Structure 1
């Protein structure tokens, strides 16, 4: 895993690795390697693998690593990795973002209607200022959560590197 592929800008950093092995063979080798794994919670379904932080180290901002293994050629495969929050956290954040966006559109419509009718517009104008501030605050909370989980993200990255290195060495 090249560190340059580990993008710090995204809330959900991604990476890709080209691997010199058939995807099905790689999945079976990964399956054999992770059967003895005690530290991480690992789920492997078809060509998709999810690696979670252990329960005792897990907190609200703990990341997950999703790996997708796809076949490029008979002897080449590509591993796509995506770090992200647990699905519950991501769903909650998206729900709140959707609610803020919907409220903004509603208050914009109310402000336009009140302006057209010549009525008082104070509440809707205040909300049109407050809601973007709420959205930026949510974004900053997400960034703070990502930085809180970053050491664990690095730990998952290191584990994945070691796993793939071990498979590569055993294959030679």
Structure 2
């Protein structure tokens, strides 16, 4: 996880047919139910940390499987619980919205030669975005071991060499 990403991605290409890949994931979920919980629905798999091990920052791995050009592409996106993801997106949009509208209002006041205290919304917004991003990065780092566990499970399920 050297790169800073909001939601890390993975992509695996295999010669196995799509249904076989999904069956392998189903079988592995049954075998390792103490390690990883999840379900397979149509061409998607949702992998989670079991009820006994999660914490606030526990990641989930959403996998989708599609056939393309004679091979099967297994794509995955790691992210927090959807409620937490929604909360962070809400914080980002609120901070960005307040920064934008406060900044525009402050610039208009400044252009009209008035006192422009709303210009402070620009540096305050930058600090706000950095705080939200820092909290998200902290959570991502806290869930790193579980993220690697989910990715390792996926690799083992479809037989990828480590």
Alignment partners' CA distance in 1, 2:2 and 2:134: 18
Deviation string, structure 1 residues 92-143 (Cα, Å, up to 9, x no partner): 1111111111101111121122123322112x12222111111111111111
Name stretches of at least 5 consecutive residues in structure 1 with no aligned partner: 1-5
Deviation string, structure 1 residues 57-94 (Cα, Å, up to 9, x no partner): 111111111111111255x2111111111111111111
**Aligned residue number for residue 110 of structure 2:** 115
1:10 aligns with 2:12: no
> Among residues 18, 21, 30, which one is paired with 2:25 in the alignment?
30
Alignment partners' CA distance in 2, 1:32 and 1:152: 20
- Residue 56 of structure 1: SS of its match in structure 2? coil
Q: Given the two structures, how large is their TM-score scaled by the length of structure 1?
A: 0.83
Mapping for residues 11-90 of structure 1, pairs under 5 Å: 11-39=6-34, 40-73=36-69, 76-90=71-85
- Residue 35 of structure 1: SS of its match in structure 2? helix
Aligned residues: 160
RMSD of equivalent CA atoms: 2.1
Q: Given the two structures, how large is their TM-score scaled by the length of structure 2?
A: 0.88
Alignment partners' CA distance in 1, 2:55 and 2:38: 17
Deviation string, structure 1 residues 10-53 (Cα, Å, up to 9, x no partner): 22111111112111232233324423442222121101001001
Cα 1:57/1:33, change in 2 over 3 Å: closer
4+ long deviations beyond 4 Å? none
